[in-house]
C-alpha cells in the first residue's frame, strides 16, 4: 500500500460503519428530535449513493449549508441554553455529516472514533445493566468497523471482522476490570450540564390535597435500602423526606429552614453538634442501613427516624430529615444509623409559634368540631387518639381519586366527602391539632417498601409515597400519628402494592395494575426480584464505585494503603489479567508450537529474508537454497548443502517423524550464519565506505 | 534436488523399465515428455486418465503407444451420441450350435481402454463405462464379470464448449485420477507429422518393454513410496486451503486428497525416488485437482486451472 495515496474504504468496512452508527445512535433516539434521525438517514443514503458512484461528494457550499442547518435545527429543537441533549444531538449530527466527507482511511478513522465517543455519552443519561450490555455490543460493532478498515480488499465478509473485534474485546476484559478497580477516580475537571429530564417523584415541595383529584402513581424506583441486620417490619418503615410546617389556603409548604435559628443543618463530620441535636435522646439499639437513592434533583434524602447519616456530604436538618449538599443529580449511596428516639426535648417559643400557626379564619365547622372534642379530651394525647378514633369509626374512605375540595377544604373533607388519600388525612389531622394550639406538622415521605428476598433489600417506589402527622407533646417531643392507618390499615400493614392489588381501583392505574397482576405468578415474581437485585448490585458495586468506595475496597484487600502497595497490587493484577487474556490463546499457541526442524527452517529463511530474498511459499528448502546460491556465490556451497539437508530431513527417506534437528545440521547452520554475516559486512563496506547508510545488499 | 541417491533395487530395475518405456513412447509422441510422464504416473498409481484436448492432437497415439509399450491389450471405443451401454459392455447372443446364449464381451474387456470423445455420448452410456472403471467389473444380464487387470481407462474429451457434447458431471469427473491436456506439438514434431511420417506405422513397430507382472510390481512399488509427516502436512494444508479459499466453490474431498497422494507417489517413482518430495506434489497437483475444483460464481469464470495455480502459489510448503 502506498502511503500518501488516497486509500479507498473497503466495502465491508463501510457497511460495518453504517451498521455501527445505527447501533450507536439507537439508544439516543428517545431524546432526539425526529428530524435528527431523518438527517442522519439522508446522510447515510447519500453516502451509499457515493459508494455506488451515483452521486458525488457534496461541495464545500453544500457542506457549509448542512452544518448551518444542523446548528440552527438543534437550536430550535432544544433551545439556546447549553445542556447535554443539544450537545449530544450536535455530536450525532457531526457523526452523520462526517460520513459525507469521508474519502480516505484517515477520515474513516475519525468517524469510527466519534462512534466510540457517542457510546460514552450514552452513559451520561443511563447506567443500567441493560444499557451497558447493549453498549458492549455497540463497542463490538464499532471495533468491527475498525478491524474491517484495516483488512484488505479481498476480505468480503464483515462477519469475520465482527468476530475478530469480539475476540479482541474479550481479551481486553480482564485488563479492563483491573483498570476499573485500580485506576484513581479523579474528580471531573469540568462540569457536564445534567440531563434536562427531571425525575418523577411522588413527593413535591408543596402539598395541596384539595386540588388533587387523581394521585399519580408511578412504579419508578425511589431508593433501595439494605439493612445490616434483620429487615424491620414494613409497617414500622416511615421514610422521612420532608416536613410541611406552613399552611396557607389549603396548601402545606415546608417553610424556609433559614428561618430557624442555630445551624439549620448539621453536616456529617462538620464540627460539634448543635444544641437541638444534643437534646435528642436516642433509645434502643441502632439500626444501620445503607441506601442507594435514585436521582431526584432535590437535596432531600431518605431515612427512618431518628437518623444520623454517616456518609460525608450528607447532614441532618433541624426537622430531622436527612439532606444532601446540593441536588442529588446522580445515583447516590449513603449510610445511616437510625434509632427510635425521643425527638427534641425542648421546643423554643418561636418554634412553637411556627408549628402552631394557622390562618385565622376558615373551616368553621372544623373549628367548632375540634373545640368540642378538645372539651372532652383536654390532654394532647387524648385529643389525638380521639381524632384517630373519629377517622376509624366514621365512614371515611381511602381513595386515590378523591373529589375536589373547594374553599374550606378541611371542612369539606371532614364533613362532606370523607374520601381522600394520606395527604388529606394528615393535613386535616395537623390542622385540627394546631387549632387547639398543639404544635403539629405534616411529614412527607415514603412508607414501607417492597422486600426483595433474592437481594435481601427493600425497594421503595414512588407509589409508596406517603404523608403522616407529627405532634409535639411536652416532655416527650415529636410523636408520629398516622391517621391513614386508622382509615386503611392495609395500606400500612401490607404496603401500597398489596393494599391495592385486587382492589376495584386497580383498573384506573394501568402500570400499577399490570404489576399487581403478574406478581401473582410465583416464578415471574422470582424473576422480577432477581433482575431487580441484579440491578441493585450493579448500582452498588459498579456505578457508585467512587473514590471512597475504591479506598475502602482496596483497604479491605490490602490493609493500609501506601502508594507502593497499591502500585504493586495493580501491577500484579494487570499481569494476571494479561496472563488470562494470553491463556485464552494458549491452546492455539500449543497447537502451533513448531517442531525444532521447522523452527530451524524458519531461522534459515529469516536469515536471507532480511536481505531481500524472501522465500516464496511454494519453494521447498532445496529450491530456495539453489536460488540463494545463485545470488550469494560466496556462500553457495554452504547454502546449497544446508538446503538439501534440510529438505532431506523434512521430506527425505529418513525424515524424522518427530521433527528433531540433526546435530550436524545445526552446527553447519551456525557456520553459515557467521559466514553470511561477514559477507554482508564486507559488502556493506565495499558499497558504503563511510558506513553511514543503512542500505541493504544489492 | 536430492542430496542422496535413492535406493535402487528393486527400484533400480524399475527405474530402467520406466526409462525405457518413456523413451519408447517419446519416439512416437515427440516433445510431450511431461504429458507422457503424467500418463505413466497415472497408470502406475492405478488411476484412470482423462485427456482433454482438441481433436487431432495425438490423444489416441499416446494411449495406444502406452498400451503397446507396457504390453497390455488395447481396445478402443469411439463414442458417438448413439452408442449404447451394450456396445461397450458386451451382449449375449443365442448360439444356434450350442443351443445356449453365449456372451460376447464388449470392448471394455481390455487392459487399456481408450474411450474416445467420451463426452459425445449420452449420460447413460457414460455412466455404464464409469461404473466399470470404479468397480473393476461389469454386470451384464445378471452375471458379474471381472475386467482384466490392470484395467486402465484413457478417456478423451473435446473441450466442452464444442458442439455436440454432454459434459461429464462432477461426480464422474472425480473418477479420473488425472486430467491432462496435450497441447500443440512442438515445431520439430509437427514438421515430422506434416512431412508424412505416419504415427500409425510407428505405433505398429513398437515392442512391449515390460510385461504384465512387471507392471504389477511397479504399481505395488508406487503404492509403497514413503511419505514424510512434513509432506502429509503440506498435502493437508493444500486441501484445507482449497476448502477455505472463498474463490473455490467447494474444496477438495478426502478422495481428492488421496488422489493427490497416489499421483505424487507414482511421480516420485518415475523420478527414481522412494520418497515423495513437495515438488512431486506440485508437479501432479494441476492434473489431479483442476477437474475437481470449480471457481466460485462471484469470482469470475476462470477454470480450475487458475485455482490450482493459486493453491500452488499461496500454500506454504513448509509451514
ipTM field = 0.79
- B310 to chain A: closest CA residue: A618
**A13 or A283: which carries more pLDDT confidence?**
A13
The answer to whether residues A128 and A49 belong to one domain is: yes
With an 8 Å Cβ cutoff, are A650 and B7 in contact?
Answer: no
- Hey, is B153 helix, strand or coil? strand
Residue A362 lies in a domain: no
pLDDT digits (tens, 9 = 90+) for A600-625: 788 888 878 777 788 888 888 888 88
Nearest to B1 among A157, A622, A657 (CB): A622
Report pLDDT for A45. 92
- Hey, is A291 helix, strand or coil? strand
Angle, CA of A630, A632 and A638, to the nearest 5°: 90
Report pLDDT for B162. 64
Report pLDDT for A542. 83
- Hey, is B142 helix, strand or coil? coil
Q: What is the CATH number of domain B9-224?
A: 3.40.50.300
Residue A195 lies in a domain: no
Report pLDDT for A693. 46
The 8 Å CB, 24+ separation contacts for A106-113 are A108/A9, A108/A13, A108/A17, A108/A145, A108/A149, A109/A146, A109/A149, A111/A17, A111/A21, A112/A17, A112/A20, A112/A142, A112/A145, A112/A146, A112/A149
Residue A419 lies in a domain: no
The 8 Å CB, 24+ separation contacts for A592-597 are A595/A658, A595/A659, A595/A660, A596/A659, A596/A660, A596/A661, A597/A646, A597/A649, A597/A650, A597/A656, A597/A659, A597/A660, A597/A661, A597/B230
A652 touches chain B (CB under 8 A): yes
The answer to whether residues A15 and A87 belong to one domain is: yes
The answer to whether residues A566 and A666 belong to one domain is: no
| A651 contacts in chain B (CB < 8 Å) | 228, 230-231, 275-278
* Chain A: closest CA distance from residue B152 (Å): 30
B253 touches chain A (CB under 8 A): no
Report pLDDT for A22. 93
How far is A471 from A426, CA to CA, in rounded Å?
11
Q: How confident is the model at residue A197 (pLDDT cuts 50, 70, 90)?
A: very low
pLDDT digits (tens, 9 = 90+) for A509-553: 333 334 444 455 677 777 888 888 888 888 878 887 877 778 888
Nearest to B316 among A157, A617, A651 (CB): A617
Q: How confident is the model at residue A136 (pLDDT cuts 50, 70, 90)?
A: very high
B296 touches chain A (CB under 8 A): no
Structural domain harbouring A583: 560-591
* Chain A: closest CA distance from residue B318 (Å): 7
Mean pLDDT of A231-242: 85
Question: What pairing do the DSSP bridges indicate for beta strands A341-342 and A440-447?
Answer: unpaired
Angle, CA of A289, A293 and A297, to the nearest 5°: 145
Domain spans in chain B, listed from the N-terminal domain onward: 9-224, 225-319
- B281 to chain A: closest CA residue: A618
Assess contact for A106 and A4: CB atoms under 8 A. Answer: no
Quote the percentage of chain A above a pLDDT of 70: 83
With an 8 Å Cβ cutoff, are A617 and B4 in contact?
Answer: no
Report pLDDT for A521. 60
How far is A463 from A221, CA to CA, in rounded Å?
9
Mean pLDDT of chain A: 79
Q: Which residues neighbour B157 within 8 Å (Cβ) at sequence distance 6 or greater?
A: B50, B51, B52, B117, B118, B119, B165, B168
* Beta bridge mates, A622: none
Q: Which of residues 133-162 of B touch A (CB under 8 A)?
A: none
Q: Which residues of A are catalytic?
A: 422, 466, 482
How far is A443 from A240, CA to CA, in rounded Å?
7
With an 8 Å Cβ cutoff, are B231 and A621 in contact?
Answer: no
Assess contact for A431 and A364: CB atoms under 8 A. Answer: no
Q: Which of residues 18-37 of B touch A (CB under 8 A)?
A: none
Mean pLDDT of A12-17: 86
Q: Which residues neighbour A516 within 8 Å (Cβ) at sequence distance 6 or greater?
A: A497, A500, A501, A502, A506
How far is A35 from A32, CA to CA, in rounded Å?
8
Report pLDDT for A657. 52
Report pLDDT for A155. 53
The answer to whether residues A78 and A140 belong to one domain is: yes
The answer to whether residues A565 and A633 belong to one domain is: no
The answer to whether residues A16 and A109 belong to one domain is: yes
CATH 3.20.20.80 fits B225-319, yes or no: no
Mean pLDDT of A328-357: 79
With an 8 Å Cβ cutoff, are A652 and B228 in contact?
Answer: yes
| B278 contacts in chain A (CB < 8 Å) | 620, 651
B312 touches chain A (CB under 8 A): yes
Residue A204 lies in a domain: no
The answer to whether residues A123 and A44 belong to one domain is: yes
Report pLDDT for A592. 62
What pTM did the predictor assign? 0.55
**A537 or A201: which carries more pLDDT confidence?**
A537
Quote the percentage of chain A above a pLDDT of 90: 6
Backbone CA torsion sign across B158, B161, B163, B167: positive
**A91 or A159: which carries more pLDDT confidence?**
A91
Mean pLDDT of A398-424: 81
| A664 contacts in chain B (CB < 8 Å) | none
pLDDT digits (tens, 9 = 90+) for A364-391: 888 888 888 888 888 888 888 888 888 8
Assess contact for B129 and B153: CB atoms under 8 A. Answer: yes
**Does the structure show a pLDDT above 80 at A68?**
yes
How far is A287 from A227, CA to CA, in rounded Å?
8
The answer to whether residues A571 and A645 belong to one domain is: no
Among A102, A121, A156, the domain-final residue is A156
Mean pLDDT of A620-639: 84
**Does the structure show a pLDDT above 90 at A454?**
no
* Chain A: closest CA distance from residue B196 (Å): 43
Overall domain count for chain A: 3
pLDDT digits (tens, 9 = 90+) for A649-661: 888 877 655 545 5
Report pLDDT for A198. 47
Question: What pairing do the DSSP bridges indicate for beta strands A281-282 and A341-342?
Answer: antiparallel
Among A568, A591, A614, the domain-final residue is A591
Q: How many CB pairs under 8 A join A and B?
A: 74
Mutate to test the interface with A, among B4, B221, B228, B280 (most CBs of A within 10 A): B228
**Does the structure show a pLDDT above 80 at A117?**
yes
Low-confidence residues in chain B, pLDDT < 70: 1-11, 160-163, 197, 296-303
Mean pLDDT of A10-18: 85
Q: Which of A281, A294, A231, A13 is nearest to A141 (CA)?
A: A13
Residue A625 lies in a domain: yes
**A2 or A314: which carries more pLDDT confidence?**
A314
The answer to whether residues A583 and A630 belong to one domain is: no
* Beta bridge mates, B180: B51
Residue A270 lies in a domain: no
Q: Which residues neighbour A517 within 8 Å (Cβ) at sequence distance 6 or greater?
A: none
Report pLDDT for B259. 92
- Hey, is B108 helix, strand or coil? coil
pLDDT digits (tens, 9 = 90+) for A543-582: 878 777 788 888 888 877 788 888 888 888 888 888 887 7
How far is A552 from A218, CA to CA, in rounded Å?
35
Report pLDDT for A513. 37
With an 8 Å Cβ cutoff, are A653 and B317 in contact?
Answer: no
For cell 511454494, the residue is A618
The upper half-sphere exposure of residue B153, i.e. CA atoms within 13 Å in the direction of its Cβ, equals 30
Among A128, A156, A184, the domain-final residue is A156
The answer to whether residues A567 and A628 belong to one domain is: no
Residue A460 lies in a domain: no
Q: Which residues neighbour B120 within 8 Å (Cβ) at sequence distance 6 or greater?
A: B79, B80, B81, B158, B164, B165, B166
B270 touches chain A (CB under 8 A): no
pLDDT digits (tens, 9 = 90+) for B40-97: 999 889 889 988 887 778 888 888 888 888 888 888 888 888 888 888 888 888 888 8
The answer to whether residues A579 and A620 belong to one domain is: no
* Beta bridge mates, A445: A240, A466
With an 8 Å Cβ cutoff, are A648 and B4 in contact?
Answer: yes
**Number of CB atoms found within 10 A of residue A550's CB:** 18
Report pLDDT for A658. 52
Amino acid at each position: 500500500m502506498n502511503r500518501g495515496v488516497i486509500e479507498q474504504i473497503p466495502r465491508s468496512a463501510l457497511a460495518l460503519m453504517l451498521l455501527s452508527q445505527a447501533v450507536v445512535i439507537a439508544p439516543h433516539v428517545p431524546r432526539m428530535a425526529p428530524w435528527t434521525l431523518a438527517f442522519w438517514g439522508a446522510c447515510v443514503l447519500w453516502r451509499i449513493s457515493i459508494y455506488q458512484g451515483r452521486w458525488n461528494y457534496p461541495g464545500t457550499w453544500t457542506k457549509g449549508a448542512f452544518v448551518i442547518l444542523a446548528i440552527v435545527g438543534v437550536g430550535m429543537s432544544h433551545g439556546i441554553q447549553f445542556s447535554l441533549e443539544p450537545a449530544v444531538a450536535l455530536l450525532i449530527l457531526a457523526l452523520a455529516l462526517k460520513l459525507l466527507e469521508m474519502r480516505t482511511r484517515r477520515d474513516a478513522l475519525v468517524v469510527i472514533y466519534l462512534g466510540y465517543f457517542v457510546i460514552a455519552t450514552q452513559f451520561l443519561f443511563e447506567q443500567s445493566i441493560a444499557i451497558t450490555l447493549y453498549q458492549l455490543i455497540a463497542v463490538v460493532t464499532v471495533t468491527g468497523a475498525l478491524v474491517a478498515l484495516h483488512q484488505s480488499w479481498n476480505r468480503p465478509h464483515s462477519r469475520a471482522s465482527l468476530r475478530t473485534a469480539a475476540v479482541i474485546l474479550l481479551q481486553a476484559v480482564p485488563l479492563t476490570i483491573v483498570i476499573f478497580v485500580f485506576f484513581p477516580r479523579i474528580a471531573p475537571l469540568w462540569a457536564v450540564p445534567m440531563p434536562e429530564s427531571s425525575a418523577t417523584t411522588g413527593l413535591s415541595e408543596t402539598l395541596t390535597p384539595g386540588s388533587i383529584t387523581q394521585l399519580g402513581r408511578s412504579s419508578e424506583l425511589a431508593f433501595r435500602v439494605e439493612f445490616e441486620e434483620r429487615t424491620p417490619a414494613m409497617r414500622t418503615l416511615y421514610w422521612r423526606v420532608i416536613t410541611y410546617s406552613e399552611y396557607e389556603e389549603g396548601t402545606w409548604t415546608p417553610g424556609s429552614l433559614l428561618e430557624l435559628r442555630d445551624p439549620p443543618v448539621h453536616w456529617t463530620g462538620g464540627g460539634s453538634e448543635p444544641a437541638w441535636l444534643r437534646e435528642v435522646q436516642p433509645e434502643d439499639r441502632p439500626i444501620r442501613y445503607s441506601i442507594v437513592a435514585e436521582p431526584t434533583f432535590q437535596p432531600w434524602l431518605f431515612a427512618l427516624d431518628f437518623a444520623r447519616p454517616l456518609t460525608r456530604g450528607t447532614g441532618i436538618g433541624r426537622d430531622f430529615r436527612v439532606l444532601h449538599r446540593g441536588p442529588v443529580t446522580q445515583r447516590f449511596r449513603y449510610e445511616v444509623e437510625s434509632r427510635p428516639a425521643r425527638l427534641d426535648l425542648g421546643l423554643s417559643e418561636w418554634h412553637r409559634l411556627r408549628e402552631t400557626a394557622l390562618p385565622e379564619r376558615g373551616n368553621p365547622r372544623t373549628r367548632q368540631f375540634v373545640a368540642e372534642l378538645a372539651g372532652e379530651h383536654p390532654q394532647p394525647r387524648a385529643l389525638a387518639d380521639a381524632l384517630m378514633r373519629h377517622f376509624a369509626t366514621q365512614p371515611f374512605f381511602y381513595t386515590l381519586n378523591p373529589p375536589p375540595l373547594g374553599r374550606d377544604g378541611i371542612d369539606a373533607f371532614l364533613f362532606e366527602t370523607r374520601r381522600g388519600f394520606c395527604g388529606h388525612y394528615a393535613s386535616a389531622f395537623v390542622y385540627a391539632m394546631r387549632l387547639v394550639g398543639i404544635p403539629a406538622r405534616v411529614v412527607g415521605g415514603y412508607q414501607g417498601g417492597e422486600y426483595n428476598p433474592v437481594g435481601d433489600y427493600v425497594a421503595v417506589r414512588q407509589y409508596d409515597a406517603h404523608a403522616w402527622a407529627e405532634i409535639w407533646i411536652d416532655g416527650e417531643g415529636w410523636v408520629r400519628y398516622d391517621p391513614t392507618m386508622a382509615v386503611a390499615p392495609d395500606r400500612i400493614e401490607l404496603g401500597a402494592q398489596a393494599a391495592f392489588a385486587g382492589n376495584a381501583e386497580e383498573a384506573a392505574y394501568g402500570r400499577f395494575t399490570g404489576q399487581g397482576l403478574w406478581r401473582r405468578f410465583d416464578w415471574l415474581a422470582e424473576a422480577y426480584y432477581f433482575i431487580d437485585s441484579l440491578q441493585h448490585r450493579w448500582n452498588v458495586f459498579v456505578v457508585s464505585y467512587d473514590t471512597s468506595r475504591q479506598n475502602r475496597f482496596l483497604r479491605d484487600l490490602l490493609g493500609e494503603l501506601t502508594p507502593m502497595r497499591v502500585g504493586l497490587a495493580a501491577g500484579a493484577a494487570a499481569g494476571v489479567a494479561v496472563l488470562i487474556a494470553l491463556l485464552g490463546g494458549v491452546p492455539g499457541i500449543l497447537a502451533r508450537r513448531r517442531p525444532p526442524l521447522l523452527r530451524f527452517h524458519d531461522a534459515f529463511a529469516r536469515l536471507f529474508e532480511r536481505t531481500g530474498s524472501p522465500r516464496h511459499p511454494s519453494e521447498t528448502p532445496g529450491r530456495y537454497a539453489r536460488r540463494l546460491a545463485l545470488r550469494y556465490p560466496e556462500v553457495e556451497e554452504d547454502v546449497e548443502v544446508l538446503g538439501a539437508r534440510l529438505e532431506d530431513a523434512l521430506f527425505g527417506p529418513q525424515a524424522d517423524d518427530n521433527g528433531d534437528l540433526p546435530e550436524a545440521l545445526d552446527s553447519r547452520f551456525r557456520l553459515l550464519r557467521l559466514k553470511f554475516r561477514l559477507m554482508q559486512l564486507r559488502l556493506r563496506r565495499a558499497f558504503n565506505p563511510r558506513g553511514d547508510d543503512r542500505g541493504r545488499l544489492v | 534436488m536430492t542430496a542422496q541417491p535413492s535406493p535402487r533395487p528393486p527400484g533400480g530395475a524399475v527405474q530402467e523399465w520406466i526409462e525405457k518405456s518413456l523413451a519408447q513412447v517419446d519416439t512416437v509422441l515427440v516433445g510431450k515428455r511431461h504429458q507422457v510422464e503424467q500418463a505413466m504416473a497415472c497408470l502406475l498409481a492405478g488411476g484412470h486418465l482423462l485427456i482433454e484436448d482438441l481433436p487431432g492432437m495425438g490423444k489416441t497415439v499416446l494411449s495406444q503407444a502406452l498400451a503397446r509399450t507396457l504390453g497390455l491389450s488395447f481396445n478402443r471405443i469411439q463414442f458417438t451420441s448413439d452408442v449404447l451401454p451394450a456396445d461397450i459392455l458386451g451382449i449375449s447372443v443365442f448360439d444356434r450350435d450350442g443351443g445356449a446364449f453365449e456372451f460376447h464381451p464388449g470392448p471394455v474387456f481390455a487392459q487399456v481402454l481408450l474411450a474416445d470423445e467420451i463426452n459425445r455420448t449420452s449420460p447413460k452410456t457414460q455412466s455404464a463405462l464409469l461404473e466399470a472403471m470404479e468397480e473393476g467389473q461389469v454386470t451384464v444380464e445378471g452375471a458379474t464379470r471381472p475386467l482384466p487387470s490392470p484395467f486402465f481407462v484413457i478417456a478423451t474429451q473435446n473441450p466442452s464448449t464444442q458442439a455436440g457434447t454432454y459434459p461429464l458431471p462432477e461426480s464422474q469427473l472425480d473418477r479420473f485420477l488425472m486430467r491432462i491436456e496435450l497441447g500443440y506439438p512442438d515445431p520439430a514434431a509437427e514438421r515430422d507429422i506434416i512431412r508424412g511420417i505416419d504415427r500409425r506405422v510407428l505405433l505398429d513397430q513398437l515392442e512391449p518393454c515390460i510385461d504384465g507382472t512387471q507392471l504389477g510390481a511397479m504399481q505395488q512399488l508406487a503404492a509403497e513410496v514413503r511419505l514424510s509427516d512434513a509432506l502429509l502436512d503440506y498435502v493437508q494444508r493444500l486441501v484445507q486451503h482449497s476448502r477455505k479459499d472463498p474463490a473455490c466453490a467447494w474444496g477438495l474431498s478426502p478422495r481428492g486428497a488421496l488422489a493427490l497422494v497416489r499421483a505424487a507417489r507414482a511421480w516420485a517413482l518415475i523420478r527414481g525416488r522412494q520418497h515423495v518430495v513437495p515438488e512431486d506434489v506440485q508437479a501432479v497437483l494441476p492434473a489431479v485437482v483442476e477437474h475437481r475444483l470449480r471457481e466460485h460464481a462471484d469470482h469470475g469464470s476462470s477454470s480450475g486451472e487458475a485455482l490450482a495455480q493459486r493453491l500452488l502459489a499461496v500454500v506454504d510448503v513448509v509451514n
